[in-house]
A and B are shown apart, each in its own frame.
Chain A
Amino acid sequence: MATQASFTAREKGSIWRYLAAFSSREFLLVLINLIIFAALAFARPDVFPTWTNIKAVLSLMSYDLLIAIAMTIVLIGRGLDLSVGSVLALSSVVMAMLMRDQQPIVLALVLGLLTALACGLINGLLIARAGILPFLVTLGMMSLARGVATVLTTGQYISFPRADRWFSDFGRFEFRFQYGDTFYGLPLPLLITLAVITIFALLLTYWTPLRKIFYVGESPEAAHLSGINVVRLTITTYLLSAFFVWMAAVLMTSANRIGYANYGIGAELRALAAAVVGGASMAGGVGSIFGTFLGVLMLALIGNGFVLLNGNPNWQQATVGIVLIVAVGFDALRNIRGRR
């Protein structure tokens, strides 16, 4: 259910049982990603397949990935969170300002998390208890959070030169190891991101409290009658979204060494595109972390392709939009041919 497994696979024996954990859509995305990878490796064998380049792609992906995961969780619950980019900015600004004023870093991080969670809580309450459309609530929050961030910083960058070095360093830290003649660096933020989302992916499928979110998204009425606390779980999805947004804020603030009110502009649309490509639907009840990962990866590879093939990098944004429309259209036509 979490990944809409192909049910005929179970008959085919043990190996298929594991592969059946992945849906046909994910297989398709893996394939597409491999094709893009191969095409780029063929087109620019000198640059593309190098570790430097791949590392750069994956690192840059981290932020988008975390925000896309945030969006995915909310989508699974039949919601929508347009405030992710703005809350990232606000959280980043709060943390940077505290560190600039030489507060303990841990305190700054905690307050940054609380800020994000507060926004998520407001979102969740207005949506689940006041019954207002998620689109409207998170649209308002988007404006609100970005506005507060701008007010706090008057549009300036907030740097924190006198805060403990370790925070700024960890954003750019890499584990170095040697394989043969060359040195490879594995960025820490990337590892953290992948670790967190892997754990979360497992939790989403195998941890009962999170598994219920799928039920809420698939049919809130049936979930309600089945004794599932729809209000509480809906609020939870927005809190979880806020958590992942905070993580992205931490990584971004650390790597860039500034807090900035204009972080994450347009992030919500990219996140939505990646999540929908990855299999999530605005109708709720479906979505997977791995699928979203593949969606983000695909968009990242396309972006990288633009850069390497000397395509105007400015076309990247347009491509994301087109990919979103195509993915949505594809899904829609598939549904029209009869799902329900």
Chain B
Amino acid sequence: MSKAQRNVTKNTTVIQYIGLAFVTFAVLFGVQLGFGNMLTPANLEVMAMNMVFEGILALGMTFVILMGGIDLSVASVFAFAEILGAKLMIEAGLPIIPSILITLIACALIGALNGGLIVLFRVHPLIITMGMLLTLRGVNLAITDGKAISGFTESYLFLGQGKILGLSVPILFFLIAALVLGVLLAHHRFFRQLYFIGGGERAAALSGVNVNRVKIIIYTLSATLAGCAGIMAAARYGAAHWGHGNLAELKAIAAVAIGGANINGGSGTIGGTVLGVIFLAVIHNAFVTSAVNPFWYDVVNGLMLLVAVLLSRFITLRNVRAVLTLKQSKIENIEATQRT
């Protein structure tokens, strides 16, 4: 492979990030020029809060997708955490800390169940997590009778509505979580295994990776993060409702895909996902600010997912062509020597 070709594969990811950042800023400044009001602190806050919970879900989703899996149940775990926390605090009267702990443990168990079923049945994670989505959503609906639960204490509401160091608590959580998870993914031995598994489960197993254990842990992590998001969301909205987080799993997946991760696993970074989250947040806010019919947002969301996927397909095809070129020159070179 010539030097030029070699560098291309590396720089593709960098190009993708730069491209993404570029488009984000272009939209940001474009709308600002056209309509103003985009870059005010207030609006930036609105922009961020709009995607922050999906963003937290996307962090967990990054890990799951890296591994070659998928977790569709996060949206329902998110709502479940809202509801369970509310029930514990408001209906059962438990203090905040124990309620949060119990909720997080419950979410972790759900994640472990996801992982366990996937490993046990050896079925595609798509269908197991879809079943869990259905089940949990139904449970959410049932235990609340379709009604919202509200009546949180002031101190609890702080978790969603308060600010620390000038940043909303959820945003701070997202940033810290992204930082911690990013560092873990880049430097911690356990999390590096996600790339190993994503690159080939059998090879990973032969190299000594305990694939099943890692899977269960990662699905547990994904659900726990969804639980954290739910706890803060209930505080933010002041109410827990079974319909919260509708389609959130799709937005999370979109953010991960737009952030450059390969849906089949093996490549992707937390940084990329964060960029994807920011991108989606900017786009959504641009719609709102420019007073375009906000209902177009879902349309754009769907389109962007398709574009992201087409792009990664295009890159795959280009790599295939590069390999063929190599093989062709090899054939020609060898043939030349055989004729002598």
Contacts and interface: CB of A to CB of B under 8 A. Distances in A.
Direct A–B touching, Cβ under 8 Å: yes
Interface string B130-152: 11111111110111011000000
B131 A151 contact: no
Given A132-B313, A328-B128, A336-B122, A317 B301 contact: no
Interface residues of A, number: 47
A269 B293 CA distance: 29
B121 interface: yes
B313 A147 contact: no
Given A131-B313, A143-B298, A276-B127, A333 B253 contact: no
Nearest to B298: A147
Which one of B70, B117, B135 has the greatest number of beta carbons of chain A within 10 Å? B135
B36 interface: no
Given A147-B299, A321-B133, A333-B121, A136 B138 contact: no
Interface string B291-304: 00101111111110
Interface in B263-312: 263-264, 293, 295-303, 305-306, 309-310
B42 interface: no
B123 interface: yes
Interface stretch (A96-104, A189-197, A228-236, A308-316): A308-316
B79 to A, nearest CB: 12
Contact of B302 (A132, A141, A317, A332): A141
A319 B136 CA distance: 10
B186 interface: no
B280 to A, nearest CB: 12
A315 to B, nearest CB: 4
Interface in A142-168: 142-148, 150-151, 154-155
A292 to B, nearest CB: 16
A143 B263 CA distance: 18
B326 interface: no
Contacts of A148: 299
B164 interface: no
Nearest to B144: A314
B59 to A, nearest CB: 20
A141 B305 CA distance: 9
Contact of B293 (A126, A135, A151, A315): A151
A28 interface: no
Contact of B142 (A143, A150, A314, A324): A314
A318 B139 contact: yes
Which one of A147, A312, A321, A333 has the greatest number of beta carbons of chain B within 10 Å? A321
Main SS of the interface on chain B? helix
B124 interface: yes
Contacts of B132: 321, 325
A290 to B, nearest CB: 22
How big is chain B's contact interface, by range?
A: 35 or more
A136 B295 contact: no
Contacts of B120: 329
Contacts of A80: 126
Contacts of B293: 151, 154
A202 interface: no
Contacts of A155: 295
A324 B130 CA distance: 9
B88 interface: no
Contacts of A336: 122
A62 to B, nearest CB: 21
Given A132-B309, A137-B306, A139-B253, A147 B138 contact: no
A204 to B, nearest CB: 23
B250 interface: yes
Contacts of B309: 132-133, 136-137, 140
B247 interface: yes
A329 B295 CA distance: 39
Given A155-B295, A314-B141, A321-B136, A140 B131 contact: no
A15 interface: no
A329 B124 CA distance: 11
Contacts of B134: 266, 269-270, 273, 317-318, 320-321, 324
Contacts of A269: 130, 133-134
Contacts of B298: 143-144, 146-147, 150
B302 A282 contact: no
B53 to A, nearest CB: 18
Contacts of B299: 143-144, 147-148, 151
Contacts of A139: 250, 253, 305
Nearest to A80: B126
A126 B300 CA distance: 17
A147 B296 CA distance: 6
Nearest to A319: B138
Given A147-B301, A151-B293, A140 B126 contact: no
Contacts of B122: 332, 336
A312 B142 contact: yes
Given A135-B70, A329-B123, 13 more contacts: A136-B257, A136-B263, A140-B302, A140-B309, A143-B250, A144-B303, A147-B299, A148-B299, A150-B298, A317-B142, A321-B133, A322-B131, A324-B131
8 contacts: A136-B263, A141-B302, A142-B250, A143-B247, A155-B295, A272-B130, A314-B142, A317-B137
9 closest Cβ contacts across the A-B interface?
A: A321-B135, A318-B138, A317-B138, A147-B298, A321-B134, A144-B302, A143-B302, A147-B299, A314-B142
